[in-house]
């Protein structure tokens, strides 16, 4: 079943909360590379919260996934059926 096209790109997205959150890619504003494992992004403030990856695995401490907060230039773009960014798994 085809999804309806995205009518407006939000500036703030929270995974699992924002309607249609899974229909957007978060990209680094400088490189254009896709930022993976994003749980929250605010493009206006330049803040990204994402799951920490070490050695290709999500990092868990005390039974919870580790979330890191970064201040960086970001763009939020709708996914157009293909990978909208050049995926690059970032380790922290």
* Separation between Cα atoms, residue 34 and residue 26, nearest integer Å: 6
pLDDT of the residue at 90: 53
Burial of residue 87 (CB within 10 Å: 0-12, 13-18, 19+) is exposed
Nearest alpha-carbon partner for 48 in 32, 64, 67, 66: 67
Question: Among 5-14, 73-82, 83-92, whose mean pLDDT is lowest?
Answer: 83-92
**Is the model's pLDDT at 11 over the cut of 70?**
yes
- Asked if 9 contacts 23 with a C-beta cutoff of 8 angstroms, the reply is no
* Distance in angstroms (rounded) separating the CA atoms of residues 85 and 7: 19
- Look at residue 91 and tell me whether its pLDDT is greater than 70: no
Mean confidence (pLDDT) of the chain: 86
Which pLDDT does position 8 carry in this prediction? 79
């Amino acid at each position: 079943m085809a999804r309806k096209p995205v009518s407006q790109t939000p500036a703030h997205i929270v995974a699992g909360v924002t309607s249609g959150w899974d229909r957007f890619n978060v990209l680094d504003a400088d490189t254009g590379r896709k930022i993976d494992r994003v749980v929250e992004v605010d493009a206006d403030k330049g803040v990204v919260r994402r799951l920490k990856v070490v050695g290709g695995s999500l990092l868990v401490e005390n039974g919870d996934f580790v979330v890191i907060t970064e201040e960086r230039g970001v763009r939020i773009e709708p996914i157009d059926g293909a990978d909208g960014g050049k995926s690059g798994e970032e380790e922290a």
